[in-house]
Structure 1
Amino acid sequence: MDGVRNAQADMAKYSATEEITDATLPSSSNVAHNGDFVTVNEDRDLSRGLEQRHLSLIALAGAIGTGLFLGLGSSIQTGGPLGALLGYATIGLIVCAVQYALGEVTALLPVTGSFVRHAEFLVDPALGFAIGYNIVYGNWLSVPAEISAICVLFEYWTDINSSVFIVAFILVTFIIGIAFIRIYGEVEFWFAVLKILFIIFLIILGLVINLGGIKGVPRLGFHYWKTPGPFVEYIATGSLGKFLGYWAVMSSAVFSFSGTESIAMAAAETRNPRQAIPRACKRVFFRVSIFYILAVLVVGMLVSSDDDRLNDQSGTAAQSPFVIAASAAGIPAIASIVNAIVITSAWSSSNQALLAGTRVLYGLALKGQAPQVFLRTTSWGVPWVCVCLQTAFMFLAFMALSNGALTVFYWFVDLTACGALISWITVLLNHQRLLMAMKKQSIPMSLLPWHNSWTAYSTPVALFMCVLILFTSGFAVFTSGRWSTSGFISSYLDIPLVIAVYIIWKVYKKTKIVALADIPLREAFEEIARNPEPIDSTAKGWKSWVGFLWD
C-alpha cells in the first residue's frame, strides 16, 4: 500500500532530521492521554482475527439491507425517479467524505471503539462519553428491533408463533457474538457476498424486464420519467414541492447507508488496521454507491411513482419495488427470494449492532467511563460481559408479541433514529480537528499513514450538510396538517439527549475541549514508529479478480 509505505518513509526522514521538535509538538507530560492509543488490555486480551476482506464486506453487508431491498419504493413515491436518484447520490457523496475521514483518523489511531475514542482524543472527553453511550444505547435497542422485523418477514410464509423465531435468533446472534471474532467476520463476509450477488441479479433482471426482454412485457425505457414525471411534488407545489421531495428522500437514504461508519469499531481486532481499514473505507464507498445508484435508477424505470402497490406497509417482500415489477412480469418466485435475503439482511444488521455496541462499551470501560467489569474477555478474545449485557436487551423483542408493548418499544427505538447522522458528524468533526491540529503544530500531512489532499475540502462541506440534514430531516411534521409525535421524536429527540449527556459529563468531570496545540500527536506518531506494520502484499492473477469486491 503506497500511502503507508510513503508515510513510514516520511516518518523516518523527519525523525532523522529532527524537523518535528518538542517546540512544534506537545510532550506527553502536558496531556492526559491514558487509553488514547491501543492499550495493553487490547493487545493482550483481544484477538486480531479480522482481515481487510472481512472489513470491506462487513460494511457492505450493513449498508445493503432493508433500505435497498424494501425501502426504494417509498423514495420513488416521495421524490420521483430523478428526485430519488439525486437524493441517494447526494448522501452517497457525503458517505464518501465520512468514509475517507474515518479512514484517515483510524489509520493514525486504530483503537477499539473507533470514532468514539477519537472524539475524546481530538475534541473533548465529554463528547466521547456522550457519543459512546448514544451508540451503546442505540445498539441495545437495534438488535431486538431487527429480530422483531425478522418475525414479520417470516409471517410472509407461515403463521408459526413469533416467539419461536425470537428465541432462535436471540440464540444464534449470541453464539456469533460470543464466538471468535473471525467467525463473525466469516459469517458477515458470506452474507455480504450473497446480498451482493442478489442485488446484481435484481439490477440485471430489472433491466431485462424494463427493456422488454420478458415475453409479453412491453419495453418501458424511461417512460415513467416522462409520465408521471421525473419529480414528485411533496407538501408544496411547483419547484419548491419538487425540491422538498428530493430533500425528504435524503432521510431515507441516510437510513439506507447507515452502518458503514461502524467499519472501524473493532480496529484493535483487525490485522494491520492502518492499512486494512483505510483500504476498506475507500472500497466500501465505491461499491455501495454503485449498487445504490444503479438500483435507484432501475427501480425508477420499473415502477411509476404513483403506483398504488408501493403503499404496501407490510414490512415483507410484498412492498419491494423489485417484487412488484417481477410479479407483474410473471415471475412470482422473486418475492420469496427477496424475503429470504431480507431476513439474512436483518440478522446481519443485528450481528453488526452487537459488535458495535459491545466494542464501544469495551472502549468506554478502557477509558474509565464504564465499570471495569466490561473489560473481562474470554480466552479467545471476546468481551463476554459486554456481549451478555447486550444479549439481555435482545429479549425486548418479546414486546413485539403485544401491540401495546410494541408501540412503547418502537418509541424507544425512535429515540436513536437520527443516530447515524450524529455518528457521521462526530467522524467528520474528529477529522477536521485532526487536520487543524496538524496545521497548528506545523506537522506535514505526509506523516499521516493515509491521507488524501481533497479531504481538507470534503470534510467541512460534508459536516455542514450532515448538520443541515439533521436539523431539517423532520421538516414535514411542522407543515400544516402533518404533525406526528412519533415523527418528531424519531427526527429530533436524540439531539437533546446527546447534548444533555455531554453537558452532564462535562460538568461532573470538569472536562475541557482539548486545545489544538495540546493534542498529543507526537505520541501518536511515535506509536507508529514503535509498531510499524508489515506492508501487505497485493493480490495478483486470479486472486485479484476474485477479490475485486474487497481488495
Structure 2
Amino acid sequence: MAGLETSLNPAKNIDYGSTRAVSPQRGYNNEDAEIVHELENRDLARGLKQRHIQMIAIAGAIGTGLFLGLGSSIATAGPLGSLLGYLFVGSIVCAVQFSLGEVTALFPVTGSFVRQAEIFVDPALAFAIGWNVVYGAFISVPSEISAAVVLIQYWNETVNPAVWVTVLIVVSVLVAVIFIGIYGEVEFFFALLKILLVIGIIIMGLVIDLGGVPGQPRLGFHYWKTPGPFVEYIATGSWGRFLGFWAVMSNAVYSFAGVESLAMAAAETKNPRQNIPKACKRVFARLTIFYVLAILIVGMLVSSDDDRLSNESGTAAQSPFVIAASDAGIKAIPSIVNAVVLTSAWSASNQSILAGTRTLYGLALKGHAPKFFLWTTPYGIPYMCVALQVTFSFLSYMCVSNEALTVFYWFVDLTAAGVLISWITIALNHIRLMKALKKQGISPTELPWHNFWTPYGSWFALVACIIILLTGGFTVFTEGNWNPSSFVSSYLDIPLVLVVYGGYKLIRNTNFVSLEEIPIRQAIEAARNDPDNVPIKVTGWERFNILWG
C-alpha cells in the first residue's frame, strides 16, 4: 500500500519545495536545473508508444475540419484557392512540427512547449501560454461533446440531449482515468477508423469523378473550369480572388489544430527522445497528404457555387463528400460519414483532455498551479487535473437549450486564436534554442535530433502565424461586414494572453532567460546518458507499415 499512499497523498512524502529548476524571479537556473523532473519520472507511467502518439495527433487533427469543413473552404476560395491555402498552412505545420521535435528531443517534459517556454524565454510566458492551453483544451471538451450530441440527433431526435451528454461525459471520464497505455489504444483505434474513412472517401471520389458510377458522367476538372478555380470574396478581380484564398487560412489552421499535442505527454512516452521527433516528422506528412488529396477531390466533385456547401447543420448533411455521394446515388455514405465524424468528435474530446490535464500538471510542477494538481493514481494518472476537466464537461448540458448553445459556441470561439499562439510559442522556443547554441558555441549537430533547414523554418512559421493571427478576422474591417461578436472571437485571445503575461511578470518580477543560462550542455549530456535513448529498429512486417510506422 505504500505506493498507493504515496500516489494519492503526495504531500506526505514529497518535498515540493525541491522544484528548483526555475526561479520565478529569475530565468532558468543552470546550476539547479532538472531536465525531466523527479516527479515526472516517478509518478507518471511511460505507457505511450510511438504509434500511439502519432495516431493521437492524427485523431485530433482529422475531424469535422476535414469531413464537414472542406465544403465551406471550396465555397469561399474555389478549388484551387482552397488547395493553395491548405498547402500553405501545411508548410507552416511542417516547420512547427520539426521545431517541436528538435526541442522536445532535448527537453522531453510534460506540458511540451509550455514548459519549454520557461526554459528558453520567460517563466511569465510559460504561465500565460500554459493557462491559455488549459482553458482552450478544457473548454473544447464540452464543445466536442455538444457537437457529438448534434451528430447523434441526425439519427434520433426523440431522446433528450441530456441523456447523450451524460453518457459521453461518463465514457470520457473513464477513458481519462484509466492507464495511459489503454487511452493510447482507444485513440489508436479511432484514428485508424478515420484514416480508413479518409482513404475510402478519396477512392470513392476518384471513382465518381472518373465516371465509375453507372449512369454518372465523367467530371474530371469540370468545376475548375466552370465556375472556375478561384472565387471572388468580398472584392472583385485579382484582389477578390486573393482575399478568398486568404480567408481559407483560418479554416486550414483549425483543421490542422491538435498536431502539436503529440508532445504534451512526453514524460509518459516510451523513449521520447526518439519517438516524438519521429512522430512529428511523420504526422505532418500524413495529415498534409490527406488534406491536400481530400480538398483536391472535393474541388473536382462539387461546384464552388453549390448552395448545399453553406449548410450549417453540423451533421453529415453538410459534408461535401456526402453531397457528391448523394448526387451519384450512393445512399449509404451519409450514415457512414456521420458515424465516423461522431467518433471524431469524441476522440477530439479525449485529445483535449490529454492536452489540458498534462499541461496543467506541468504548470503545477513549476509552481504556476496549485500543488494538488500533482496528485496521481498508482497508474500514473493526474486525477486532480482530470477532476477539474470534469467540471468543465458539465457545460455540455447547455446544448439542451438552443439559445444557450449559441452563446456557448461564441464563448468557444474566443479560444480559436489559441492554436496560432501555441504554434508561435513552438517556433519561438526553437529560435531561442538556435540562438543559445550559437551563443554557447555548441554545434547543432550535437542535438539529439536536428535538420539543417529548421532554423529557417521556425522563422517562417513564426512570421506566418503572426500574420494569420492578426488578419484572421479581416472581414469585419471591410465595408458592410462589421460584426462585434466576430471581432471579439477573432482577437480577444490576444490581449488576454498579453494581460496574463504582463500581470504575472509584474507580480513575480520575472526576467527573460539569458542565452547563457539555457542549460543546453546539461540537456545534451542527459540525452547521451539516457538509457532509453536508443535508435528505434523496425523489423518484420512493420517495415511495410505506411500508416504509423
TM-score band (shorter)? over 0.9
Give secondary structure in 1 for the equivalent of 2:488: helix
* Deviation for aligned residue 1:199: 0.4
* Deviation for aligned residue 1:481: 1.1
Which residue number corresponds to residue 141 of structure 1? 139
Q: Are 1:42 and 2:40 an aligned pair?
A: yes
Task: Supply the distance in 2 between the matched residues of 1:534 and 1:461 (Cα, whole angstroms).
Answer: 30
Give me the CA root mean square deviation. Answer: 1.4
Give secondary structure in 2 for the equivalent of 1:511: coil
Gaps of 5+ in 2: 1-25
Task: Supply the distance in 1 between the matched residues of 2:210 and 2:516 (Cα, whole angstroms).
Answer: 60
Aligned pairs (5 A) from 1:415-494: 415-494=414-493
Q: Which amino acid aligns with 2:195?
A: I
Give secondary structure in 1 for the equivalent of 2:390: helix
Cα distance per residue 1:222-274 (max 9 Å; x no partner)? 00000000000001100000000000001100010000001100000000000
1:51 to 49, 52, 69: 49
Q: Which amino acid aligns with 2:402?
A: N
* Deviation for aligned residue 1:33: 7.4
Cα distance per residue 1:309-367 (max 9 Å; x no partner)? 11211000000000000001001210000000000000010000000000000000000
Which residue number corresponds to residue 251 of structure 2? 252
Which residue number corresponds to residue 16 of structure 2? none
Which residue number corresponds to residue 330 of structure 1? 329
1:49–1:269 CA contact under 8 A, matched in 2: yes
Task: Supply the distance in 2 between the matched residues of 1:73 and 1:503 (Cα, whole angstroms).
Answer: 40
Cα distance per residue 1:33-64 (max 9 Å; x no partner)? 76752111111100000000101111111111
1:36–1:117 CA contact under 8 A, matched in 2: no
Give secondary structure in 2 for the equivalent of 1:462: helix
Task: Supply the distance in 2 between the matched residues of 1:32 and 1:138 (Cα, whole angstroms).
Answer: 32
Q: Which amino acid aligns with 2:152?
A: F
Which residue number corresponds to residue 111 of structure 1? 109
2:274–2:536 CA contact under 8 A, matched in 1: no
Q: Which amino acid aligns with 2:351?
A: Q
Which residue number corresponds to residue 531 of structure 1? 530
* Deviation for aligned residue 1:31: 2.1
Which residue number corresponds to residue 3 of structure 1? none
1:132–1:361 CA contact under 8 A, matched in 2: yes
Distance 1:400 1:30, change over 3 A: closer
Task: Supply the distance in 2 between the matched residues of 1:448 and 1:362 (Cα, whole angstroms).
Answer: 27
1:143–1:353 CA contact under 8 A, matched in 2: yes
Which residue number corresponds to residue 320 of structure 1? 319
Q: Which amino acid aligns with 2:249?
A: M
Q: Are 1:397 and 2:396 an aligned pair?
A: yes
2:27–2:512 CA contact under 8 A, matched in 1: no
* Deviation for aligned residue 1:216: 0.6
Distance 1:415 1:168, change over 3 A: same
Which residue number corresponds to residue 236 of structure 1? 235
Task: Supply the distance in 2 between the matched residues of 1:117 and 1:35 (Cα, whole angstroms).
Answer: 13
1:438–1:444 CA contact under 8 A, matched in 2: yes
Is the deviation greater in 219-228 or in 397-406?
Answer: 397-406
Task: Supply the distance in 2 between the matched residues of 1:522 and 1:495 (Cα, whole angstroms).
Answer: 34
Give secondary structure in 2 for the equivalent of 1:480: coil
Q: Which amino acid aligns with 2:373?
A: F
Task: Supply the distance in 1 between the matched residues of 2:28 and 2:294 (Cα, whole angstroms).
Answer: 52
Cα distance per residue 1:501-525 (max 9 Å; x no partner)? 0000000110011111221222212
Q: Which amino acid aligns with 1:69?
A: F
Q: Are 1:342 and 2:337 an aligned pair?
A: no
Is the deviation greater in 246-255 or in 412-421?
Answer: 412-421
2:178–2:381 CA contact under 8 A, matched in 1: yes
2:59–2:194 CA contact under 8 A, matched in 1: yes
Task: Supply the distance in 2 between the matched residues of 1:478 and 1:88 (Cα, whole angstroms).
Answer: 24
Which residue number corresponds to residue 58 of structure 2? 60
Which residue number corresponds to residue 31 of structure 1? 29
Distance 1:211 1:409, change over 3 A: same
Aligned pairs (5 A) from 1:356-435: 356-435=355-434
Is the deviation greater in 65-74 or in 479-488?
Answer: 479-488
1:358–1:383 CA contact under 8 A, matched in 2: yes
Give secondary structure in 2 for the equivalent of 1:516: coil
Q: Are 1:271 and 2:273 an aligned pair?
A: no
Distance 1:168 1:303, change over 3 A: same
Using the size of structure 2 for normalisation, the TM-score is: 0.94
Which residue number corresponds to residue 101 of structure 1? 99
Aligned pairs (5 A) from 1:66-105: 66-105=64-103
Which residue number corresponds to residue 549 of structure 1? 547
Q: Which amino acid aligns with 1:172?
A: V
* Deviation for aligned residue 1:526: 2.7
2:274–2:533 CA contact under 8 A, matched in 1: no
1:33–1:121 CA contact under 8 A, matched in 2: no
Which residue number corresponds to residue 200 of structure 2? 201
Q: Which amino acid aligns with 1:549?
A: L
2:28–2:518 CA contact under 8 A, matched in 1: no
* Deviation for aligned residue 1:467: 0.3
Give secondary structure in 2 for the equivalent of 1:304: coil
* Deviation for aligned residue 1:530: 3.3
Task: Supply the distance in 2 between the matched residues of 1:355 and 1:268 (Cα, whole angstroms).
Answer: 13
Distance 1:514 1:84, change over 3 A: same
Task: Supply the distance in 2 between the matched residues of 1:345 and 1:498 (Cα, whole angstroms).
Answer: 29
Distance 1:537 1:430, change over 3 A: closer
Task: Supply the distance in 2 between the matched residues of 1:67 and 1:455 (Cα, whole angstroms).
Answer: 28
Task: Supply the distance in 2 between the matched residues of 1:377 and 1:32 (Cα, whole angstroms).
Answer: 28
2:28–2:119 CA contact under 8 A, matched in 1: no
Task: Supply the distance in 1 between the matched residues of 2:284 and 2:257 (Cα, whole angstroms).
Answer: 12
* Deviation for aligned residue 1:458: 1.1
Q: Are 1:222 and 2:255 an aligned pair?
A: no
Distance 1:402 1:30, change over 3 A: closer
* Deviation for aligned residue 1:412: 2.1
Q: Which amino acid aligns with 2:169?
A: I
1:36–1:121 CA contact under 8 A, matched in 2: no
Q: Which amino acid aligns with 1:487?
A: S
Task: Supply the distance in 1 between the matched residues of 2:226 and 2:433 (Cα, whole angstroms).
Answer: 49
* Deviation for aligned residue 1:170: 0.2
Task: Supply the distance in 1 between the matched residues of 2:398 and 2:32 (Cα, whole angstroms).
Answer: 41
Q: Are 1:290 and 2:289 an aligned pair?
A: yes
* Deviation for aligned residue 1:133: 0.1
Give secondary structure in 1 for the equivalent of 2:214: coil
Task: Supply the distance in 2 between the matched residues of 1:207 and 1:417 (Cα, whole angstroms).
Answer: 33
Distance 1:393 1:271, change over 3 A: same
1:69–1:320 CA contact under 8 A, matched in 2: yes
* Deviation for aligned residue 1:461: 1.1
Task: Supply the distance in 1 between the matched residues of 2:258 and 2:457 (Cα, whole angstroms).
Answer: 20
Task: Supply the distance in 2 between the matched residues of 1:543 and 1:460 (Cα, whole angstroms).
Answer: 35
Which residue number corresponds to residue 121 of structure 1? 119
Task: Supply the distance in 2 between the matched residues of 1:522 and 1:328 (Cα, whole angstroms).
Answer: 62
Task: Supply the distance in 1 between the matched residues of 2:276 and 2:269 (Cα, whole angstroms).
Answer: 8
Q: How many residues of Structure 1 are paired with residues of Structure 2 in the alignment?
A: 523
